[in-house]
């Protein structure tokens, strides 16, 4: 795993429908590889589709997929005092953003997420979780007119760039979901592949899996493997199945989640590869979450799907946490899947 590139990808700003900064970086990296002119395309929705020639022609069309977008906040209204009202783009817990430093709009104006002081809340309000409508973004201005010179409704509020290694082999950052998957795909494309393989860097996963279905409809794969970050709830007070998966346990291979029942033969193949090649792995112990596989499997006459995810604490928060060793295990499994999916009868 190229950690420097993962940090760079996480530092880019690109929420659903505004993935241009991430797309430009990926296209830049692909251009350095001198791929054939027709090997890379961008569709009408903004997905990047890549066909990488391997040592042998593919026996079946296999698509590896990751999404470029991250969760964020969007400005909805300018208040008379200059502060900003906003709502979430994707699934963001309002309580997780209070007091956080943010960057607003194309010019990345510094801001902070504020809320009404607790001593001004009613007794009932103190018992309720925060919601987006009770929060505001302060960019240091004093009037609506002053703010309007800098920010407009529809502008995006991003969490602050903060990628850094810490502790014993951990990485924290915004946007690990799913810049991790993008980093895996880039590493694979740069490598010498045993078989021709298709790759899709897709848009708008966080608001309804919109790009992945379009990409799959174009490529019409028989099999698709989605690389993702998934919720690890290995936290104090969380026991048994409620932990879902754990940091340090290796790659997460899902058999079911909140959107998809995964192909059993592909699940078994991934497990067998891990066991035979010494790749640490785990599965999800709770039906939770979902990813682009849910849209891909419905494309055309149907696509068989598999998901490989890095376990991630505090998903969709201003700072998520993964173990570097888990990321490395995911990448090892990714490399093992390319020949196995072509050569084994699954």
Looking up residue 205, the CATH number of its domain turns out to be: 3.40.630.10
Q: What are phi and psi of 163, to 5 degrees?
A: -65, 125
Q: Provide the domain limits for residue 315.
A: 3-70+174-343
For the segment 109-163, what is each residue's pLDDT rounded down to a tens digit?
999 999 866 655 556 656 567 788 889 999 999 999 999 999 999 999 999 999 9
Q: Is position 167 within any domain? A: no
For the segment 256-311, what is each residue's pLDDT rounded down to a tens digit?
999 999 999 999 999 999 999 999 999 999 988 899 999 999 999 999 999 999 99
Q: Is position 164 within any domain? A: no
Residue with the two structure tokens 């340090």: 248
Please tell me whether residues 56 and 195 are part of one structural domain: yes
Please tell me whether residues 41 and 186 are part of one structural domain: yes
Q: Which helix (H) or strand (E) holds 50?
A: strand 48-52
Domain endpoint, select from 125, 159, 193: 159
Q: Is position 169 within any domain? A: no
Please tell me whether residues 143 and 284 are part of one structural domain: no
Helix axes 176-190, 3-11, angle to 10 degrees: 130
pLDDT value for 122: 58
**Catalytic pick among 19, 70, 205, 206:** 205
Please tell me whether residues 38 and 185 are part of one structural domain: yes
Domain endpoint, select from 102, 128, 159: 159
Would you say 63 and 218 are in contact if contact means Cβ atoms under 8 Å apart?
Answer: no
Q: Quick check: 10 pLDDT over 60?
A: yes
- Note if 239 is an active site residue: no
Looking up residue 119, the CATH number of its domain turns out to be: 2.40.30.40
pLDDT value for 223: 98
Q: Quick check: 335 pLDDT over 90?
A: yes
Instruction: State the total domains in the chain.
Output: 2
Token pair listed for 134: 């009770």
Please tell me whether residues 200 and 316 are part of one structural domain: yes
Binning pLDDT at 50, 70 and 90, where does residue 189 land? very high
> Read out DSSP for 15-31?
BTT-THHHHHHHHHHHH
């Amino acid at each position: 795993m190229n950690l420097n590139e993962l940090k760079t990808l996480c530092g880019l700003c690109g929420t659903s429908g505004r993935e241009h900064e991430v797309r430009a970086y990926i296209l830049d990296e692909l251009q350095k590889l001198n791929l054939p002119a027709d090997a890379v395309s961008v569709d009408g929705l903004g997905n990047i589709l890549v066909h990488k020639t391997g040592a042998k022609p593919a026996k079946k069309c296999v698509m590896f997929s990751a999404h470029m977008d991250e969760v964020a906040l969007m400005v909805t209204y300018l208040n008379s005092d200059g502060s900003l009202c906003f709502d979430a783009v994707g699934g963001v817990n309002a309580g997780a953003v209070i007091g956080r430093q943010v960057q607003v709009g194309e010019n990345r104006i510094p801001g902070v997420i504020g809320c009404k002081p607790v001593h001004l809340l009613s007794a009932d309000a103190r018992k309720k979780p925060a919601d987006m409508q009770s929060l505001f973004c302060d960019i240091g201005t004093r009037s609506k007119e002053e703010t309007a010179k800098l920010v407009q409704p529809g502008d995006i509020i991003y969490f602050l760039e903060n990628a850094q290694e810490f502790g014993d082999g951990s990485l924290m950052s915004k946007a690990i979901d799913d810049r991790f998957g993008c980093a895996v795909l880039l590493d694979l494309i740069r490598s010498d592949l045993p078989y021709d393989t298709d790759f899709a860097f897709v848009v708008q996963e966080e608001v309804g899996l919109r790009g992945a279905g379009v990409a799959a409809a174009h490529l019409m794969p028989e099999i698709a493997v989605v690389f993702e970050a998934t919720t690890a709830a290995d936290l104090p007070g969380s026991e048994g199945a409620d932990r879902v998966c754990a940091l340090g346990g290796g790659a997460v291979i899902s058999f079911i989640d909140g959107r998809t029942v995964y192909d059993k033969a592909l699940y078994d193949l991934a497990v067998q590869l891990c066991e035979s090649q010494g790749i640490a792995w785990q599965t999800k112990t709770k039906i939770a979450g979902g990813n682009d596989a849910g849209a891909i499997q419905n494309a055309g006459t149907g696509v068989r799907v598999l998901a490989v995810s890095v376990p991630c604490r505090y998903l969709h928060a201003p700072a998520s946490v993964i173990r570097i060793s888990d990321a490395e295990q995911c990448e090892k499994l990714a490399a093992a899947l390319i020949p196995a999916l072509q050569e084994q009868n699954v």
